[in-house]
Structure 1
Amino acid sequence: MTTLSSIILTCLAGGLLSVACAAFFALNARVSWIPTLISYAIGALLGAVFLEILPHAFEAASSVENMAATVLVGILVFFVLEKLVLWRHCHGDHCEVHAPDEHHGHSHAHAHGADHAHDHGRSGMMIMIGDTFHNFVDGILIAAAFMLDVKLGMVTALAIIAHEIPQEVGDFLILLHSGYSKKKALLFNLLSSLATLLGGLIAYFALQTVEAWIPTILGLAAASMIYVAVADLIPGLHKRTELKATLQQVLLIGLGVSSILLVKLLLE
């Protein structure tokens, strides 16, 4: 299979799969499953970063120091972007932006336009705009990864799909809450997921000419995944301190990492 057809297939399958799963969860209203999904997503994100993306990024980079600096700058940039989003959404001291069961995207930073918090005053449209941009960036990451190595592309796509599902579920529930019909919410989510394909295609044709950028894009992708896992998702897990919940979270995070490891081994 050519690199281009791999990118097209993966972006399409990823988008449709995460929307289908989101619709299934949201329509069956198993909100209690979201924290479970999030624990798994944390493992998948961190597994993809440390077992696949970073090793490849370091390998392709001109120097290890430059790549480490890229990741550091990326994490700081995502921190500042998230601050800007929080400033925009918070009035006064009372600000409960991070709902425990909700995860606002691994907002590949620039995507942070849509912070998927329980802020139902904001229209579902705002969420869709941010989510569409976020999906577009996912497409670019998938393409960059595939162009460096097919195995890396598969693992990156898997990590993206794994953490897209809880985020899409959150979006879906907010759209329903904002007064959209189930049909409309599903349609919007589907249209938004097509942005992944668009990002993948644009990146494929543009990155051909700027292959030197691929390591940097991978470094920034790693930074955004680390930031989302550690800053956005893990704090939500700390809200449940009882031993049973903690063990369940540790197990699920381990499962997320293992699934990335398994895919890596299968692809080798």
Structure 2
Amino acid sequence: MSILLIIFLSTLAGGVLSVLAAAFFALSARPAWIPMLVSYAIGALLGAVFLEILPHAFHVASSIENMAATILAGILLFFVLEKLVLWRHCHGDECEAHATHAHDHSIDHHHDGGRSGMMIMVGDTFHNFVDGILISAAFMVDIKVGLVTALAIIAHEIPQEVGDFLILLHSGYTKKQALLFNLLSTLATVVGSVIAYFAFQSIQGVIPTILGLAAASMIYVAVADLIPGLHKRTELKATVQQVVLIGLGVGSIWLTEYWLGAFV
């Protein structure tokens, strides 16, 4: 099976599964499950970064110093981009980031902050396109790295897609329309991955940089967007639950890496 076909099937299946899973949680009467998804997603993201992506990124980089600088620059870049999104959507002196951020991962959506459902879809389509580029770059380094990266991205997409469903429903869309729009948006992941595959064939030197940015993106999402939401629940039971689920997220990446190592 060619790398391109594996990339195509992974992004297509992953996107569809993440949307369907998000639809299940968003449309079911079990909102208590959503924070559990967020905790697991944190573990999956951090596990993918530190167990798979970074080791390979440092291996293929021209120097450890250059890769470290790329990751640092990536984290600062995502901070600036997030600020630009907030500035774009904030109106007046009062602005709650979790209610106005177009790519909010905390899932605490009680209203759409004046934004239309289509605006959310436009922003997420671009986000999915970038995810496709990151997945494609990872696959071109190593199949195992690609599969683990795809798994981690899918894991953090599910909580985000849940939030998207809630926003679309709040904006007046039907359940069928919300599902359709999310499915169409996730196809951007496939498009981004295929375009990146053909582009990277001629510019292999950019792959270490893409891996560094992928790591920076996942670290930033986990630490800046997801973890602060967990601190809103300070009771011991919730804290233990969060730690266990984060551990399960990391563990699932380790098991995936171990299993793939035996077959890939």
Normalising TM by the smaller chain, what interval? over 0.9
Alpha-carbon separation, structure 1, partners of 2:160 and 2:114? 19
Alpha-carbon separation, structure 2, partners of 1:212 and 1:29? 48
1:237 partnered with 2:237: no
Identify if the C-alpha distance between structure 1 residues 34 and 198 changes in structure 2 by more than 3 Å, giving closer, same or farther.
Answer: same
Q: Tell me, which stretches of 5 or more residues in structure 1 are unaligned?
A: 107-115
1:135 partnered with 2:153: no
With 90-99 and 187-196 compared, the bigger mean Cα shift is at: 90-99
Alpha-carbon separation, structure 2, partners of 1:34 and 1:40? 10
Identify if the C-alpha distance between structure 1 residues 105 and 196 changes in structure 2 by more than 3 Å, giving closer, same or farther.
Answer: farther
Alpha-carbon separation, structure 2, partners of 1:95 and 1:261? 39
1:203 to 192, 196, 203: 196
Alpha-carbon separation, structure 1, partners of 2:237 and 2:111? 26
Alpha-carbon separation, structure 1, partners of 2:226 and 2:52? 21
Which residue of 1 is the match for residue 34 of structure 2?
34
**Does the Cα contact within 8 Å between 2:135 and 2:149 map onto a contact in 1?**
yes
3-state SS of 2:98 partner: coil
Alpha-carbon separation, structure 2, partners of 1:118 and 1:90? 14
Aligned partner of 2:231: which letter? H
3-state SS of 2:104 partner: coil
Which residue of 2 is the match for residue 194 of structure 1?
187
**Does the Cα contact within 8 Å between 1:45 and 1:225 map onto a contact in 2?**
yes
**Does the Cα contact within 8 Å between 1:172 and 1:186 map onto a contact in 2?**
yes
How far 1:105 moved relative to its partner?
4.9
Which residue of 1 is the match for residue 143 of structure 2?
150
**Does the Cα contact within 8 Å between 1:97 and 1:119 map onto a contact in 2?**
no
How far 1:92 moved relative to its partner?
3.2
Which residue of 2 is the match for residue 6 of structure 1?
6
Number of aligned residue pairs: give it. 257
Aligned partner of 2:5: which letter? S
1:77 partnered with 2:70: no
RMSD of the alignment, in Å? 1.6
Identify if the C-alpha distance between structure 1 residues 103 and 247 changes in structure 2 by more than 3 Å, giving closer, same or farther.
Answer: farther
Q: Percent identical across equivalent pairs? A: 78
Identify if the C-alpha distance between structure 1 residues 105 and 214 changes in structure 2 by more than 3 Å, giving closer, same or farther.
Answer: farther
Which residue of 1 is the match for residue 87 of structure 2?
87
Q: Tell me, which stretches of 5 or more residues in structure 2 are unaligned?
A: none
3-state SS of 1:240 partner: coil
**Does the Cα contact within 8 Å between 1:71 and 1:220 map onto a contact in 2?**
yes
Which residue of 1 is the match for residue 55 of structure 2?
55
3-state SS of 2:32 partner: helix
Aligned partner of 2:89: which letter? H
Alpha-carbon separation, structure 2, partners of 1:28 and 1:117? 16
Alpha-carbon separation, structure 2, partners of 1:221 and 1:236? 22
1:104 partnered with 2:104: yes
**Does the Cα contact within 8 Å between 2:112 and 2:171 map onto a contact in 1?**
no
Alpha-carbon separation, structure 1, partners of 2:67 and 2:88? 32
**Does the Cα contact within 8 Å between 1:104 and 1:117 map onto a contact in 2?**
no
TM-score w.r.t. the length of structure 2 is: 0.94
Deviations 1:82-127 (A, max 9, x none): 111112222333222226xx97259xxxxxxxxx884342000010
Alpha-carbon separation, structure 1, partners of 2:226 and 2:111? 15
Alpha-carbon separation, structure 1, partners of 2:222 and 2:81? 16
Which residue of 1 is the match for residue 19 of structure 2?
19
**Does the Cα contact within 8 Å between 1:25 and 1:169 map onto a contact in 2?**
yes
**Does the Cα contact within 8 Å between 1:8 and 1:201 map onto a contact in 2?**
yes
**Does the Cα contact within 8 Å between 1:46 and 1:229 map onto a contact in 2?**
yes
